Copies of this chain bind each other. A is one copy, B any other.
Amino acid sequence: MTSGPTMKTPTTALSHHTLDAVYYREKNLVDDILKPGAQPDFVREAMAHILGREIGDGELRVMNAILITMMEHGFTPSAISTRSIYMSAPENLQGAVAAGLMAVGSQFVGTVENNARLLARIAAVPEGEKRALAEEIVDDHKARKVHMPGFGHHLHRPDDPRAIRLLEIGAENGLDGAYVKALRLLGEVIDEKARRHITINATGSVAALLGEMNVPVDLMRGFSVLGRTAGLVAHIAEERERPSARFIWELVDKTIPYEA
């Protein structure tokens, strides 16, 4: 690297420790978070640690629903990778989880972020301009032949039951502000222009609800990663009892033929 002037030393607010205590941000891990009667909650502490603020009970309930929904999706590319790597290196559970997590990328979870960016734009304009902007967005996607992120599902029609229920849980807990309204408005415009009902899918609901919690768009993927981590550990647990990775190997190898 350079031999020029040294960069300014950064700081961290995440943690520090003394001879007899460990701190998470400004809280003592043992004497505050884990103290008798405290009902310590991992999701609450994770949110507080990531977002740098105290978490409301409503937000906590909604985040629990989101993380559960993100946890499991069957034999996805993510789970297939985790099981394949675990079979190859079972001494290395963390590597198998890491491999599967790398599937939490643009093609699936990235749609949460793309949707959230659209919702943020609509949320930011005055009431009277929202519909026009929503129409412009839908027309623009149509003109560019780009899928509208957060809408449509290859399987669940007319409606994705998870998406509907997540929005209900949001409303039950006070999270039905500008982002959720923007999502519903987009849905109306899409339906009008398509002349049929297109479902809001789970990623659309998640984008709106994370937006309501002021999660920065570029961090949203972090919560998908957290939810999916649990699911991938479950796939490893099952792989130990009911292995399928070796079968998948044989199945794929025999099914895809060679052709020059």
Contact = CB atoms under 8 A, between A and B. Distances in A.
State the copy count for this chain: 4
B74 A15 contact: yes
A174 interface: no
A230 B92 contact: no
Nearest to A25: B260
B65 A34 contact: yes
A23 B231 CA distance: 13
Interface in A168-213: 168-169, 172
Given A50-B233, A95-B92, A72 B14 contact: yes
Contacts of A24: 68, 71-72
Contacts of A236: 219, 222
A248 B252 contact: yes
Given A50-B230, A75-B256, A29 B87 contact: no
Interface stretch (A97-105, A114-122, A131-139, A140-148): A97-105
Contacts of A64: 40-42
B92 A89 contact: yes
A30 interface: yes
Interface string A221-232: 111011101110
Contacts of A154: 1-2, 4
A214 interface: no
Contacts of A240: 216, 218-219
A120 B57 CA distance: 39
Contacts of A73: 15
A209 to B, nearest CB: 13
A17 B80 contact: no
Given A9-B255, A12-B257, A92-B106, 20 more contacts: A12-B258, A14-B74, A26-B260, A30-B162, A40-B65, A42-B43, A42-B63, A42-B71, A46-B71, A49-B72, A77-B88, A77-B249, A88-B102, A89-B104, A91-B92, A92-B92, A92-B105, A98-B98, A222-B236, A225-B229
Closest 9 CB pairs of A and B: A89-B105, A77-B84, A16-B258, A46-B230, A222-B233, A11-B259, A98-B98, A88-B103, A10-B244
